[in-house]
Amino acid sequence: MRISVIGCGYLGAVHATCMAQLGHDVVGIDVDAAKVAALAAARPPFFEPGLGELLESTLATGRLRFSTDIADAADAEVHFIAVGTPQLAGSDAADLSYVRAAIYSLVPVLAPGALVVGKSTVPVGTAAMLSHVIQPTGARLAWNPEFLREGFAISDTVSPDRIVYGVAPGDALAEAQLDEVYAGALAVGTPKVVTDYATAELVKVSANAFLATKISFINAMAEIAEATGADVTQLADAIGHDARIGRRFLNAGLGFGGGCLPKDIRAFMARAEELEVDQALTFLRSVDAINLRRRDRMVDLAREAVGGSLAGKRAAVLGLAFKPNSDDVRDSPALDVAARLVAAGASVRATDPKAIETARLRHPELHYVEDWTDAVRGADVVLVLTEWDDYRRLDPDAVGSVVTRRAIVDGRNCLDPVQWREAGWHYRALGRPPAVGAEHPGAVQPEAERGAEREADHVRGDVVRQQ
């Protein structure tokens, strides 16, 4: 099929490349000329494993082009909209201006019979509104939410776990056109769900709301574990064995971030408020709050590790991306913690295998180093904030030989506490006890001790009364 993809960021560039690799004739359109030039030269403007190689081989077939000129999309039969829908400044709602701009730029070149397919994540009701803009051209609109994960974007695009089409009532042609686009995935039995617009839009945001809730649930358990001396990682393993619960997305740690989950749950709440059903989603407010509280806790653990004040202390930050195998630092908990450490007076040296340049754009004030060995040299405390394999595999003795103080805070529960403690490290992690058998604030005292304390209180009370 002849396909255009409008918006070539993390989603669109991968989608365009994969569609061409599957045999379609694709043009990727973006307003960012530098991005278009980089993609056309097989240089991915962001890090996604395998994308560089795939771009190169696919561009060589002649089936993939990139352009800034929307007129180059004119002869496509299917137009995917993959522009951003970030959080509006000063509001929880989604900024739909890019989606509107993309649709309005496309309208003059749309051929009758063409299908415009929304991929961007939008508030429910957006497709119905946009379909009126497209209708006069004789083209039609469908919504086909995208579920790819950064870091696995290529395999998720080529082999999705499900395909959802939201189509206008009675638009059988839209389903047929999309079936042709996704013929490969459908041929191997990928489940397909055909819905109306509203359901398709809601599928995406409710899936993200569920995933965010699952992460915040285990992080809430981490808070309880911290108050009681329990170990949240064992708790997650134990409850995860229940097939109804499942172990995935139950990793307690610094919480979720990135260009999707945080802004999507906020936009969902904002839309529910407009629809006067905000009560249905009040729990998402807690999900968001739990997620953000983990960052405070991380800074507290670092402060504790250096003896009470971060002022003048050297902190090594390992990891800036919101997750491994990505350079995406949008709403990254790791980058936020790095900035908070600086605000608390620490001297921070931060590193990441792929995200230094994207982080620098947002936080130029941080001191970045290319290599983790430069980050940890002379450090009073080491913080692991993104669970890259490089950091999971760190050798406690090798790191220990260059730091000032053997203190580490594991923000992703990705290191082995036994191994680090045996090497003489002060090891702390979110949701885990300070050390085996350590005292904790929530310990229930033995009755005998409590009796003795009550006795002492009486005596103190008597003394106070007598004074």
Residue with smallest beta-carbon separation from ligand NAD? 9
Write out the DSSP string of 72-126.
Answer: GGTT-SEEEE-----BPTTSSSB--HHHHHHHHHHGGGPPTT-EEEE-S---TTH
How many CA atoms within 13 Å lie on the side-chain side of 169?
A: 1
Cβ-based burial of 398 (10 A; exposed 0-12, middle 13-18, buried ≥19): exposed
CB of 278 to ligand NAD, least distance (A): 21
Q: Is 10 helix (H, G, I), strand (E, B) or coil?
A: coil
Question: Helix, strand, coil: what percent of the chain each, to 5?
Answer: 45, 15, 40
Q: Is 394 helix (H, G, I), strand (E, B) or coil?
A: coil
Looking at the Cβ atoms of 66 and 427, the one nearer to ligand NAD is 66
CB of 453 to ligand NAD, least distance (A): 54
Looking at the Cβ atoms of 123 and 253, the one nearer to ligand NAD is 123
Kindly state the DSSP code that residue 145 receives in the 8-state scheme. Answer: -
Structure tokens at 180: 């042709």
54 and 22 Cβ atoms separated by less than 8 Å: no
Looking at the Cβ atoms of 99 and 384, the one nearer to ligand NAD is 99
Q: What are phi and psi of 132, to 5 degrees?
A: -70, -30
CB of 134 to ligand NAD, least distance (A): 15
List 8, 18, 260, 414, catalytic entry: 260
CA–CA separation, 320 vs 360, rounded Å? 10
Q: Which residues bind ligand NAD (CB under 6 A)?
A: 6-12, 29-32, 35, 82-85, 98, 101-102, 105, 120-121, 146, 148, 150, 259-260
Looking at the Cβ atoms of 21 and 120, the one nearer to ligand NAD is 120
Q: Does 260 qualify as catalytic in the annotation?
A: yes
Looking at the Cβ atoms of 260 and 394, the one nearer to ligand NAD is 260
Structure tokens at 167: 């189509």
Question: Mind telling me the catalytic residues?
Answer: 260
